[in-house]
């Protein structure tokens, strides 16, 4: 009788992130710059604390794209925004930051 209620509040599990080559290029550029400036830990803390808002962040980027487009590449902004709208995107960025940080530490 209550089978419809059994999954009423379930959330889909985190699907693998579908990332295009252009999105990967933009994400790597951002992550490399964060690691170069030695801001990996603060960036990861900010990403983890704002995880519930990743879809909203992507929508905000789409809203302010005309303003940011004067300074940054508009296609890169659109790629980054569409990436952020995916579930699991922030985990991918945190993992990429950790990988780049460990590669930087072994190189130094």
Q: Residue 3 has what pLDDT?
A: 73
Q: Using the 8-state DSSP alphabet, how is residue 13 labeled?
A: -
Distances (CA, A) of 29 to 25, 42, 91: 6, 17, 17
Mean pLDDT, the chain cut into blocks of 10 residues (108 residues total): 67 74 92 96 93 88 93 90 89 95 88
- Domain map of the chain by residue range? 20-107
Q: Residue 46 has what pLDDT?
A: 93
Q: Residue 25 has what pLDDT?
A: 92
Q: Residue 97 has what pLDDT?
A: 96
């Amino acid at each position: 009788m209550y089978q419809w209620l059994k999954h009423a509040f379930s959330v889909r599990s985190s699907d693998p992130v579908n990332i295009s080559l252009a999105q990967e290029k933009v994400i790597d550029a951002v992550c490399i710059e964060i690691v170069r400036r030695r801001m990996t830990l603060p960036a990861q803390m900010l990403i983890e604390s704002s995880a519930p808002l990743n879809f909203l962040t992507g929508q905000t980027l789409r809203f302010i794209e005309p303003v940011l487009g004067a300074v940054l590449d508009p296609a890169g902004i659109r790629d980054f925004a569409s990436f952020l709208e995916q579930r699991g995107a922030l985990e991918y960025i945190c993992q990429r930051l950790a990988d780049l940080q460990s590669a930087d530490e072994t190189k130094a």
